[in-house]
Chain A
Amino acid sequence: MLASPAVMHIPDGFLTPLVAAIGWVLALASLSLAVRRTQTSLGERQVPMMGVLAAFIFAAQAFNFPVAAGTSGHLLGGALAAILMGPWAAGLMMSAVVILQGLVFQDGGLLVMGWNMVNMGLITALVGFAVYGGVRKLIRDPSVGQLAGAFVAAWISVEVAAMATAVELAASGTFPLNLALPAMAGVHALIGLGEAIITTGAVAFLQVVRPDLLQRGEGESGGLASSATAIGLGLALLIACLSPLASPSPDGLLTVAGAGGFAYLERTAPFEVLPGYSVPSVMNPALATALAVVVGTVIVFGLGLLIGRLAVSRRRTG
């Protein structure tokens, strides 16, 4: 029941109190915004609906499917929640899940809970919503657009949240960024595929059973959606900008690499998922990771488009 879908619940002790406090400020500021936004859109339904659906997200994280070698695909749920409920409601629900997991089940620390809410609640919801909307604008067929959008949004939301986690760990001096970033991005490139497949499956199911529910998240358009999109993209950009900036710190890997010969650097990414995940000719590992994530995004976008087309054409012929 408590199997974490992703290695993303930071426990206490991994972030310094100062970094943890920054997370709390960010989380509380965006949560109070989310509370106000959902109050206007849901009114009196806000508390019962958000509450029961937060419990749904928690429960849905139990759904898994075996992948290979004892590992399994899991759902984190941020992108799915954002697709179905809009970004602010999703951020609120996901944060409630994180609070519950931390306070009652010790899944994730108390002091660092601010960042856990930002990473798993707000980033996944806002980035997921922004990407979903963006992909659907690019694809003319609305059904294909929904499926491809869900696939890409789910993968990117997990990936960006993982990268944010890596940046926070590096900012606390826990791990050097040039180790944490490729490791987190690499592991979650795989975990994100599980997330993407389950999210797409859920959207495909709802397209058949309750297509009206998929209109609902889109109903959160206008000023609300555009500001959420802007914030989501801003967060993504901020992380992307932070990563090369923080990397040339002389500690950790680079020093070791200097002593042990540079070939060592190539071997230190034990999680080579995409072939050439660290682009060889680029010397700055953080830049290489950012580049590889962009390439990965393009691949996942293509994959999402393909899966969406296939699923829709199969449904129409069959």
Chain B
Amino acid sequence: MQAVIGFDPRAKLLLTLAAIVGISLLPDGGWLVFAGALIGLMAVAMLAGLGPLHALRRSYVALPFALAALSLPFTVPGDPLTRLPVLGWPLTAQGVTRAASLIARSWLAVQAAILLTSTTPPESIFWSLRALRAPAILVAVVGFAYRYLSLLLGEARRMLRARSARSARRPGHRPSWVWQGQVAGAMAGSLFVRSLERSERVYLAMLARGYDGRIHLGQAPHMRRRDWTLLVLGLLALSVGLLVIGS
């Protein structure tokens, strides 16, 4: 388990990004390569003690957008396989290959990202963004947003529940959706006021504890030898793999 989780978050973030770049460069219709990448991702998950299907089970997040790729079989020119019964759109072999490859690549990339977040606490990821020279203020804002997210999401959910609890509906009567939208808007406005006031209290509490406007994100520990080894070996493996596939 330590095998993956113990590594420096910077090395993991860079490797994940490199893996996603590599996946994005895989050729259309390279089914064997896709399968190999999937096995590689599963192996990493096994090493991290997550079980091989961990990332697979959580990878449905990218599905809504992947549905858009279902239009490709009908729009990529090529040899028509068959036509849709009613509309008469031609279904091309090239289009099917294209769509399936697109879905496979984005699905593999999502799994790589899931492996990163499953083995690295969000705070460490944000911190490594800073170590990789992202603007300090932006990283601090992201960190604050993450810290207060579950608080405000909980508040939003309670408001939604309160709305449902108060919204008895006469049978056969349906409120207009403009009205319902206004209610949702009033909830957003109300949550904004509460959040703004909370941010003021947070700021005052920070002042009371000696905040002077400077952002301290903690000192970076050094990349150890094994972090460098992981990074270099991983990048090498990825580039060799891509070169072999490309040739």
Contact = CB atoms under 8 A, between A and B. Distances in A.
Given A7-B68, A51-B143, A210-B193, A197 B188 contact: no
B189 A206 contact: yes
Contact of A92 (B58, B61, B106, B141): B141
B198 interface: yes
Interface stretch (B45-53, B211-219, B223-231): B211-219
A13 B108 contact: yes
B185 A103 contact: no
Interface of B is mostly: helix
A194 B188 CA distance: 13
Contacts of A39: 137
A93 B23 CA distance: 30
B141 A65 contact: no
B186 A205 contact: yes
B190 interface: yes
Interface string B163-186: 000000000000001101111111
B233 interface: no
Given A49-B199, A179-B75, A202-B186, A44 B109 contact: no
Contact of A44 (B71, B153, B196, B203): B203
Contacts of A118: none
B141 A73 contact: no
Interface stretch (A53-61, A126-134, A137-145, A291-299): A53-61
A75 B199 contact: no
B49 to A, nearest CB: 20
B185 to A, nearest CB: 2
B20 A109 contact: yes
Contacts of B246: none
B149 interface: yes
A92 B138 contact: yes
Contact of B145 (A100, A253, A264): A100
A106 B144 contact: no
A12 B135 CA distance: 23
A55 B144 contact: yes
Given A62-B156, A201-B189, A251-B77, A73 B184 contact: yes
Residue from A32, A46, A201, A260 whose CB has the most chain B CB atoms within 10 Å: A201
A51 B145 contact: yes
Contact of A58 (B113, B153, B157): B153
A65 B184 contact: yes
B35 interface: no
Contacts of B145: 51-52, 54-55, 58, 93, 96-97, 100
B213 A202 contact: no
Contacts of B151: 55
Interface of B: 16-17, 20-21, 23-25, 58-59, 61-62, 64-66, 68-69, 71-72, 74-77, 87-90, 102, 105-110, 113-114, 117, 122, 125-126, 135, 137-138, 140-149, 151-153, 155-157, 159-160, 177-178, 180-193, 195-196, 198-200, 202-203, 206-207, 211-213, 215
Given A65-B184, A66-B177, A205-B186, 19 more contacts: A13-B106, A17-B21, A43-B213, A50-B141, A58-B149, A59-B153, A62-B153, A63-B160, A96-B141, A97-B145, A105-B61, A109-B62, A197-B177, A197-B182, A197-B184, A202-B186, A206-B193, A255-B77, A256-B90
